[in-house]
Structure 1
Amino acid sequence: MTAVSVEPGTLDAVIGFEDGSFRTGRIGLESTFLAATDVPASLASIPKRGVGLDGDTIVFHSQTGQFSRIVPVCELLEPSSGVTGAPLQSVDCTKLTSGSLVAVLDSEGGIRVEFIESRRNLLTDEVIVTTSGAVITPTSMIPASFVRLPSLGDQVFIVWDNGLAERWDIRTIESPRLAESFNLTNAPTRIVAMEHLFGGMALAAADSDGIVNIWTGVRSDTATSSDGVTMTATKTFSGDGTAITALAPSPRSRLLAVASASGMLRLLYSTNSRLIQSLDTSDSKLLGGSASTVIISPRENRLIAATQNRMVAWEFNAGFPEVSFVSLFRPLWYENYPSEIHAWETTGHESFESKFGLIPLIFGTLKATLFSMLFAVPIALCAAIYSSQFMSSRWKNRVKPVIELMAGLPSVVLGFFAGLVLAPLVEQGLMPILTSVFLVPLTILAGAHFWQIVPSGLRSKWAGFRFALVSLVAIPLGCLCAHTASPTIERLLFQGDIQAWLDGRGGSGLGGWMLALLPFSGILAMLLLERLIGPVLRRVSQDWSEQQAALVLCGKFLVSVGLTLAIAMVAGMFFDSLRFDTRGGLFGTYVQRNALVVGIGMSFAIIPLIFTIADDALSSVPEHLRSASLGAGATPWQTAVRVIIPTAASGLFSAVMIGLGRAVGETMIVLMAAGNTPIMGWNIFNGFQTLSAAIATELPEAARGTSHYRVLFLAAVVLFFMTFVVNTIAEFVRQRFRRRFHEL
């Protein structure tokens, strides 16, 4: 026997012999639990952690008092021939669904891959073996040193000790083809060990300088390989300058044991490039030199190292190697990913590489909070100002309790409404909704300006109902205008289909830039007009009648609207000419459950809180301040803006912060309306996952005491810390506002 390979975690093995042949089968130890009545009487007195022989089997008494029977297994198929008949120096195997895949390399450089399928006849109990395979002829004439198979069995790696490596595509095993050639190291450094990590998707290559590199396939559009995949070194573990003598992957995680010629034995974790433990085995009481073989036990609680004449075993506790500050809060390069990313993906198949990055959850929490507050804060504060300063007490006593009742709506009901009712409606009427976001406020402002044109007699008669009248006319008119104008706007800016435009199927970036820049353009237009035209109007309007002044203000408003559109269009055309596009940033592919739906749905939960507290704060301003302002000739609006709101600023800020705290900790609405996908991106039309949603959905399924379980508790601590910081800052700001106005 010259070479042997056992697939980690299984008994599947391939053995290479000196005559160039190889045999596949099962080799190892099988353990079964024994009931107390099945334990041989002569072995019942075995002490705990003791063993005894029962014929050809071993009986083990565990620390917990459980007996188990350990049976040696050696089931090999008939020998298969190699290539040249020279001794095999490297073999590897992997178990596939329908059989075993084997790769062998002999000392003269002959390489063969073979698929072996064995079926047992249920009637005759005869084992029928069928094989298929091919001989691989590498591009280099120098005999290779290693041959390795990934767990998928779709390719084979051939490695030379000078660092040259070839990746062959064997999906059609009878006709392998070269997919890629690459270098694992540079001369004069040589490759001395090569193993696949758990899962079979990453390759650990150790060199004569003691450096271990982790290689994985990365798919890219610029790849020169035939299958579009490029092998890339994603992790590097530095060494002590001495050659690696042994390399052993764990059979249950990305843990890797590395022994070097200096006698240093290290435990490394691949995902987060972490050194778990290190041990100097050169002491004469230990190995007295460097290990030639290392093994990590299946339970990852023992490490075995051996030389030619000595073997030592250590118990170790790796803890939770996949969890560290780096893996939680920094981007990592995961297997088969094109670059370093923040990722949260905790479950999968048994060889899945868990991703415990909390940044996507923190980002999702902030995104949900931001878009929810953008909807809720303006509506709630404006409603509070209107109800406290302009609404009659009779109507206020009716309206305020109704809004406060909204705070009692269960969040699961709001989430159900947002996810199952609101989301389809928004998807069907996306363009009218986006248009109404701009046109409804515009029509309200237009109604306020045109109200000034109404003869003073009528205005005085209906003064108490002016807000209600303007709103009742302007809001339906704005919605009607949005519904009517949206097809034209969609055709001009988004090629007639905004969802196709969002998906990147044609169209320029002008429409997206105009949507994004309109609010800023409006502010800029207002400032420009106030700076350039305001002083002139104040100087020349002293002798104007009230009607003339109202008409000029309406004209100024219309000019500001036109200037806003012009600024947004010019800026959008400028950015579009530079090939900048909002798609991939603020906008992107439309997903039905997205941040827009969450913002609308969560505003139903936040608005009552902000409104109630803000209304109480505004109503608590001393009446003498209001009376003094009105007595000095200020209008009710000037009194509200310049006296009442600054005085109640601390209460208004507290209201906003309480709403912010509700948004940060909200669970059911974001769970049902956001898609619960940990995506990082400011696209308002895609989903996300928040800290609270991850805790609610995954904690019941997480095994107690596991890394996943503990990280979810850490996520809860992070959520608490976020709310604590926000509330602390809010309290400082509130106290500052309070000190500023307390003497009033």
Structure 2
Amino acid sequence: MTDLAQYIPAHRAKLRYIKDRLATVSITAGGTGVLLAILLIFFYLLYEVLPLFGSAEVEPGVQHDWAGEAPALLYVEEQGEVGLSVSAGGEAQFFRVEDASVISRRDLAAGHAPVTVIARDSAEGRLLALGHGDGEVTLARHDYRVTYPDDGRLITPSLNRLYADQVLRLGSGAVRALAVSDSNNGLLLVADLDGAGLRGLRYNREENFLTGEVTLEEEVLQLPSLAGQTAALYLGAGQRWLYRLDRAGYVTVLDISRVGDDGVVPIVATEPLFEGGGPLATSAMLLGNISLLAASEKGELAQYFMVRDAQGGNRLNRVRSFDTDGAIATQLLPEHRRKGFLLIGRQGELQLFHTTAHRRLYAAPLGIEGAAVAAIAPRGDALVAVSGGVLGQWQVHNEHPDVSWSALWDEVWYESYDEPAYIWQSSASNNDFEPKYSFAPLAFGTLKAAFYTMLLAAPLAICGAIYTAYFMAPALRRKIKPVIELMEALPTVILGFLAGLWLAPFIEDKLTGIFTLLVFMPVGILLFAYAFSRLPLSLRSRVPTGWDAALLMPVVVLIGYLSFALNDPMELTLFGGDMRLWITRELGISFDQRNSLVVGIAMGMAVIPTIFSIAEDAIFSVPQHLSDGSLALGATPWQTLVGVVLPTASPGIFSGLMIGLGRAVGETMIVLMATGNTPIMDANIFEGMRTLSANIAVEVPEAEVDSTHYRVLFLAAFVLFLFTFVFNTIAELVRQRLRSKYGSL
């Protein structure tokens, strides 16, 4: 018996030890696994984001002898395999980029006076305009047909005359500068003729809807006489603005969409291009023909476009300048699909810039002698240049030029905007779109949603937790607490669905009742409490201790019913029958049906159970002897609550608040369904927002894998990750300080 008595306790102790070790190992492994998973998420996001901030690289390829005439214009098709060279005399030849071999030749000046100038319609366009010595203009378009015979790619180039049956003559003098724009509405030609100045012709297209026949109606533009020697002419998008640059470094902008009282096209602006003065070195129009790029002989490089001024007119605005390290440009090459461009310097420099990101991406010698004529492939991945009888090739690695710190977080002056702004607009329907990747409205929307959510949820949850844990009767607490915690299991997609389809229209229709409820509910509860305290003790004692809150339920229901029942009469009396319209007209506050108020209420319902449960457990877990001791020393229950219970439970209450805030920051479905999802920076409670999490959910399925847009969305996820990490770290530090301060109570 003695041996058995000794064996059983030893056996149980060993079993207890094994269980303890297993629990320790399991908990440690679980915690380590959680930390490892968080680290893996961090490094994966970082892996996807880092390429955004990589530098551009240019790798030289093989050089070949150039047997043809020196080109005045170069073009490379999308695959980077076939190029087009047009000489100053109008001889065009297609060639293979890999070995400079000639595919075909054609003399574009055949049958016409000598070519004096060659122009293109845009940076990405394939329309060529040749100005001749007799004032005539000929147009040609080059195209590239791609076929796959025998599983091999074959690119067949073609060069076709346009408007061959139409004589496009602007005058009798030689064409010194030329601009062309061909759109669905018609053809527009503007030239500077030797001895005659500016001349313009517009050919409006008229289509017969019955026969489908298209005719051209000629319209002569009366352009003013301008001083100075014209260096370049450009037509802006929509065929409205004409930019005339002279060699002295001045620009004149004309509005060719209208005429003055004298029948002459009006001048909108005439001003110097460069702050430091100096003659014009070269110029170009950026993708989309909205922005003008101009470089001076002193190395200054700037971007300009038209904006609307405070008086309702238009002016040419210097948007940004670029640091060229003193390089004097001989050619500016806008990219075909992005708002970037290349600079070819007089000393053989090559520099890459992006306008929206406002940064220089690359700067190095081109590695070819003499002044070069270059072309960038439409994909922006290949560069071809001819100089000194040599054809050079370069591979350009510049995947993500759109992103910079200023583009993400600072105000950016985007094309067609009147002033710098924080804008998120990642895609559009046209190819010359300028992506706008500002995180500021998304971060603001995230904080705005969290603020209005916590404004509603924090007071209700904390006050409810205090009453439930400290004042409520145990029997009632056992019923109330599980019901509130059960709300946490409600899917947020259901809350978002109800908020978007029911709550938002209800608030819009009962807006007066909502504000009446917000005012009368606390006032009514306080009045009821005061009236109850004035009742005789014999009546008050009939209510069991801790059941006082049950008396408030009829009061809350009555006040809610009266608030919404009186909505229409009060709205008619106070706001002329429409409070929403009154807010917009009288207060100047815009109102959207799906707004921050809806989000605050819906997300508050999702966050309240979390904060309540944690805070209530923290308050209820305060040792009873602390409260008893305080009460025994003469403190009232409220003094005990404020001086003893709440400080002791403060770490847990603060943890609940931070967890609730974290859920509000990361919430997706409610924000997605209950707001207009518009990325705007407006603190107005009646306006919507777009949060970082909702933006990721909306746009990731449509983003091209490994594109700039795709990686920027991962960057948004990384920012959200860091945001929650920093907040949780700060919360933990505060919690530990509260614990060390009040843990000795």
Whether TM exceeds 0.5 here: the answer is: yes
Q: TM-score, normalised by structure 2?
A: 0.78
Unaligned runs of 5+ residues in structure 2 are 1-114
The equivalent of 1:20 in structure 2 is 135
Q: 1:31 aligns with which of 145, 149, 152?
A: 145
Residue type of the alignment partner of 1:251 = H
1:609-628 equivalence runs, <5 A? 609-628=610-629
CA contact (8 A) 2:343 2:352 kept: yes
Shift of 1:277: 1.2
Aligned counterparts of 2:554 and 2:466: Cα–Cα separation in 1: 18
Q: Distance in 2 between matches of 1:311 and 1:613?
A: 72
CA distance in 2, matches of 1:137, 1:105: 10
Deviation by residue 1:639-665 (Cα, 9 ceiling, x = unmatched): 323322111111111111111111011
Is residue 333 from structure 1 mapped to residue 413 from structure 2 by the alignment?
A: yes
1:462 aligns with 2:547: no
Show the counterpart of 1:88.
175
| Counterpart for residue 177 of structure 1 | 265
Whether the aligned pair in 1 keeps the contact of 2:197 and 2:226 (CA below 8 Å) is no
Matched residue SS, 2:238? coil
Please name the residue that 2:470 is paired with. 389
Answer whether contact 1:439 1:482 (CA < 8 A) is retained.
no
Change (3 A) 1:81 1:351: closer
- One-letter amino acid of the structure 2 residue matched with residue 182 of structure 1: T
Aligned residue for 1:685, secondary structure, equals coil
Alignment partners' CA distance in 2, 1:119 and 1:9: 26
- The CA RMSD measured in Å over matched residues stands at 2.8
Distance 2:467 2:267 in 1: 70
Secondary structure of the 1:177 match is coil
Q: 1:258 aligns with which of 329, 337, 343?
A: 343
Q: Distance in 1 between matches of 2:571 and 2:198?
A: 65
- Which residue of the other structure, out of 513, 519, 537, is the alignment partner of 1:432? 513
Q: 1:109–1:143: 8 Å Cα contact kept in structure 2?
A: no
Which digits, 9 at most, give the CA deviation of each residue in 1:303-322, with x for residues without a partner? 23334644433211112100
Shift of 1:454: 1.6
Query: Residue 376 of structure 2 corresponds to which residue in structure 1?
Result: 296
Quote the Cα distance in structure 2 between the aligned partners of 1:257 and 1:362.
33
Equivalent residue for 2:19?
Answer: none
Contact 2:679 2:689 survives alignment (8 Å): yes
Determine the C-alpha separation between the residues in 1 that align with 2:419 and 2:209. Answer: 50
Question: What corresponds to 1:52 in structure 2?
Answer: none
Q: 1:270 aligns with which of 343, 351, 355?
A: 355
Contact 1:92 1:149 in 2 (8 A): yes
Structure 2 distance, partners of 1:369, 1:631, is 42
Tell me the residue number matched to 1:633: 634
**Residue 373 in structure 1 maps to residue 454 in structure 2:** yes
SS of the residue 2:248 aligns to: coil
Map of 2:657 onto structure 1: 656
CA-CA distance at 1:620 after TM superposition? 0.8
CA shift in 2, pair 1:482/1:117, >3 Å? closer
Tell me if the contact between 2:453 and 2:664 (Cα under 8 Å) persists in the aligned partners: yes
The structure-2 alpha-carbon separation of the partners of 1:461 and 1:501, relative to structure 1 and needing over 3 Å to count, comes to same
The answer as to 2:635 corresponding to 1:668 is no
Q: Is the 8 A contact 2:300 2:322 kept in 1?
A: yes
User: Which residue of structure 2 aligns with residue 144 of structure 1?
Assistant: 230
CA separation in 2, counterparts of 1:188 and 1:421? 63
Code of the residue aligned with 1:14 in structure 2: it is A
- Counterpart of 2:59 in structure 1 is none
Aligned-pair CA distance for 1:726: 1.0
**Closer, same or farther: CA 457–709 of 1 in aligned 2, 3 Å:** same
Give 2:368's aligned residue: 287
Distance in 1 between residues matched to 2:638 and 2:552, nearest whole Å: 15
| Greater RCO (CA < 8 Å, at least 6 residues apart) | 2
Change in Cα spacing, 1:153 to 1:122, as seen in structure 2 (3 Å) is: closer
1:337-358 C-alpha deviation (Å, 9 max, x unpaired): 1222221100002111001111
SS in 2 for 1:342: coil
Kept after mapping to 1: 8 A contact 2:204/2:219: no
* C-alpha spacing 1:193/1:138, structure 2 compared with 1 (3 Å): farther
| 8 Å CA contact retained: 2:517, 2:559 | no
Q: Distance in 2 between matches of 1:213 and 1:429?
A: 54
Q: What per-residue deviation string (whole Å, max 9, x for no partner) do you get for residues 461-501 of structure 1?
A: 22534333245326633763686599669966x77754334
Secondary structure of the corresponding residue to residue 128 of structure 2: strand
Cα deviation 1:174-203 (Å, max 9, x = unaligned):
966315113123685122322210111111
Note if 1:155 corresponds to 2:241: yes
Residues paired across the two proteins, number: 624
**Alpha-carbon deviation of 1:70?**
2.1
Structure 2 CA distance for aligned equivalents of residues 506 and 30 of structure 1: 60
- Describe the SS at the equivalent of 2:713: helix
Distance in 1, Cα, partners of 2:277 & 2:638: 82
Alignment pair present for 1:219 and 2:308: yes
> 2:695 is matched with which residue?
694
Match of 1:352 in 2: 433
Counterparts of 1:216-615 in structure 2, within 5 Å, are 216-223=305-312, 228-241=313-326, 243-281=328-366, 286-291=367-372, 293-307=373-387, 309-348=389-428, 349-462=430-543, 464=545, 465-470=547-552, 472-473=554-555, 476-477=558-559, 480=562, 484=566, 497-503=578-584, 505-506=585-586, 588-615=589-616
| Alignment correspondent of 1:51 | none
Counterpart-to-counterpart distance in 1, 2:370 and 2:577? 75
Instruction: Give 1:709 shift.
Output: 0.4
Question: Residue 111 of structure 1 corresponds to which residue in structure 2?
Answer: 198
What is the distance in 2 between the residues matched to 1:636 and 1:77?
A: 95
Indicate the SS of the match to 1:32: strand
Distance 1:138 1:404, change over 3 A: same
Q: 1:186 to 1:691 in 2, by over 3 A?
A: closer
Shift of 1:264: 2.2
Cα distance between partner residues in 2 of 1:108 and 1:409: 81
Q: Which residues of 2 match residues 45-84 of structure 1 at below 5 A?
A: 66-78=152-164, 80-84=167-171
Using structure 1 for the length normalisation, give the TM-score: 0.78
Q: Specify the code of the residue in structure 2 equivalent to 1:655.
A: G
Mapped to 2, the partners of 1:280 and 1:67 lie a distance apart of 33
Aligned match for 1:195, one of 252, 269, 284 = 284
Q: Give per-residue Cα distances to partners, 1:476-535, cap 9 Å, x unaligned.
A: 33763686599669966x7775433432x246xxxxxxxxxxxxxxxxxxxxxxxxxxxx
Q: Distance in 2 between matches of 1:412 and 1:10?
A: 47
Alignment partner of 1:2 out of 116, 119, 124: 116
Deviations 1:523-550 (A, max 9, x none): xxxxxxxxxxxxxxxxxxxxxxxxxxxx
1:167 to 253, 257, 260: 253
Cα shift readout 1:23-75 (whole Å, capped 9, x = no counterpart): 1231x3413122317xxxxxxxxxxxxxxxxxxxxxxxxxxxx4213223232
User: What is aligned with 1:526?
Assistant: none
1:419–1:673 contact (8 Å) kept in structure 2: yes
Q: 1:139 offset after TM fit, Å? A: 4.7
Counterpart Cα distance in 2 of 1:485 and 1:75: 72
3-state DSSP of counterpart to 1:90: strand
- 1:426 and 1:139 mapped to 2: Cα distance? 62
Secondary structure in 1 matching 2:485 = helix
Sequence identity (%): 36
> What does the per-residue CA deviation read over 1:265-324, in whole Å, with 9 as the maximum and x for residues that have no partner?
21111112111111224xxxx332343x33211121122333464443321111210012
Letter in 2 for 1:213: A
